[in-house]
């Protein structure tokens, strides 16, 4: 028995080595970003990978007090939160309908929706600019929300539809027998079971929404409506760039993404592994 257990443990060694190397590859850029945000501009060039000799917290103070970055954070936060809320609501309702609608037309609509995952939305940037301008949303943060919702719905439908199909039919049938309608069944039975899948969709969409620079750069030129990453471009000079302040802003902008992942990591892992084990 001991030999068998040792053999099983040895089988996991290569996977642990690969995961360890991958973790180092992922963590190293974050390490460089964080430690250099506490250095002055010249120290970054002298020792970009080592700890700072003197921890310079003034970079964060200058970013918060001297610039408009608190406003940029607020704009990004409002856009991302509202976009995620709409993606989760619309994606959950559409997935519930597609999961319970059996037929050829249902399958056609399902593949039509997830086709958005294969086509990058940036190829329609000119047309989207015309639409946003026609709606009067140019130079406002509200013009970004419909774009991000359109970006996130295909992933939401792809994940949530399969998750809802895995819900035992007996649960929804019992709710219908007790007098609950379709919407009541969704709220009382299906929605509570969707928490892991919803966390997966939220985290999956949070990163591209928060880190998007393309559409804010096209739609927004007013300083009051700029997002975080678009505001960072103000720190890039024609002849020199204060990288310590740039990295301080980027470090602060990474905090919400990391915080959301840490709070929803258990649900995220459950959503990824849902359906992997049957029985």
For the chain, the structural domain boundaries read 68-273
Inform me whether the pLDDT recorded for 41 exceeds 70: yes
What is the mean predicted confidence (pLDDT) over 125-137?
Answer: 89
Band of residue 31 on the pLDDT scale cut at 50, 70, 90 = confident
Coil/strand/helix, residue 277: coil
Nearest alpha carbon to residue 36 among 251, 239, 217, 186: 251
Inform me whether the pLDDT recorded for 193 exceeds 90: no
Structural tokens at position 230: 């678009």
Round to whole Å and give the CA distance between 22 and 167.
34
CA torsion angle for 66, 71, 77, 83 (degrees, to 10)?
Answer: -140
Rg (CA), the chain: 23
| Backbone conformation region of residue 164, classed left if phi is above 0, alpha if psi is from -120 to 50, else beta | alpha
What percent of the chain stands above pLDDT 70? 87
Q: Tell me what pLDDT residue 111 has.
A: 85
Cα three-residue angle 107-155-233, rounded to 5 degrees: 150
Range from 95-99, 131-135, 180-184, 206-210 carrying the lowest mean pLDDT? 180-184
Question: Alpha helices, DSSP H only, in the chain?
Answer: 2-36, 41-46, 58-65, 69-100, 104-114, 125-134, 144-165, 169-177, 182-185, 191-193, 195-210, 214-219, 228-232, 243-273
Measured from the Cβ of residue 102, the count of other Cβ atoms closer than 10 Å reads 9
Q: Tell me what pLDDT residue 275 has.
A: 44
Band of residue 88 on the pLDDT scale cut at 50, 70, 90 = very high
Residue 169's Cβ-count burial label (10 Å; 0-12, 13-18, 19+) is: exposed
Band of residue 91 on the pLDDT scale cut at 50, 70, 90 = very high
What is the mean predicted confidence (pLDDT) over 36-65?
Answer: 80
CA torsion angle for 45, 241, 73, 60 (degrees, to 10)?
Answer: 50
Coil/strand/helix, residue 204: helix
Residues shown for the chain: 279
Inform me whether the pLDDT recorded for 3 exceeds 60: no
Structural tokens at position 182: 């379709």
Question: Alpha helices, DSSP H only, in 101-124?
Answer: 104-114
Q: Tell me what pLDDT residue 221 has.
A: 86
* Residue range 68-273, CATH number: 1.10.3720.10
């Amino acid at each position: 028995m001991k030999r068998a257990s040792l053999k099983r443990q040895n089988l996991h060694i290569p996977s642990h080595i690969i995961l360890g190397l991958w973790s180092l590859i992922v963590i190293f850029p974050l390490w460089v970003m964080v430690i250099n945000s506490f250095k002055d501009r010249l120290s970054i060039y002298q020792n970009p990978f080592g700890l700072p000799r003197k921890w310079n917290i003034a970079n964060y103070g200058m970013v918060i007090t001297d610039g408009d970055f608190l406003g940029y954070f607020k704009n990004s936060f409002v856009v991302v939160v509202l976009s995620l809320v709409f993606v989760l609501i619309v994606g959950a309702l559409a997935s519930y309908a597609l999961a319970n609608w059996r037929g050829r037309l249902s399958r056609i609509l399902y593949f039509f929706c997830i086709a958005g995952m294969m086509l990058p939305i940036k190829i329609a940037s000119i047309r989207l600019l015309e639409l946003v301008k026609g709606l009067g949303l140019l130079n406002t943060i509200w013009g970004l929300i419909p774009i991000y919702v359109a970006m996130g719905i295909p992933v939401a439908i792809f994940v949530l539809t399969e998750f809802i199909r895995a819900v035992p039919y007996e649960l929804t049938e019992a709710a219908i027998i007790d007098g609950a309608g379709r919407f009541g069944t969704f709220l009382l039975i299906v929605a509570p079971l969707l928490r892991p899948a919803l966390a997966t969709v939220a985290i999956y969409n949070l990163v591209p929404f928060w880190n998007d620079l393309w559409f804010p750069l096209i739609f927004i030129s007013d300083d009051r409506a700029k997002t975080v990453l678009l505001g960072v471009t103000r720190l890039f000079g024609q002849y020199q760039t204060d990288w310590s302040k740039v990295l301080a802003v980027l470090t602060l902008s990474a905090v919400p993404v990391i915080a959301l992942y840490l709070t929803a990591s258990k649900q995220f892992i459950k959503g990824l592994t849902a359906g992997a084990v049957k029985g």
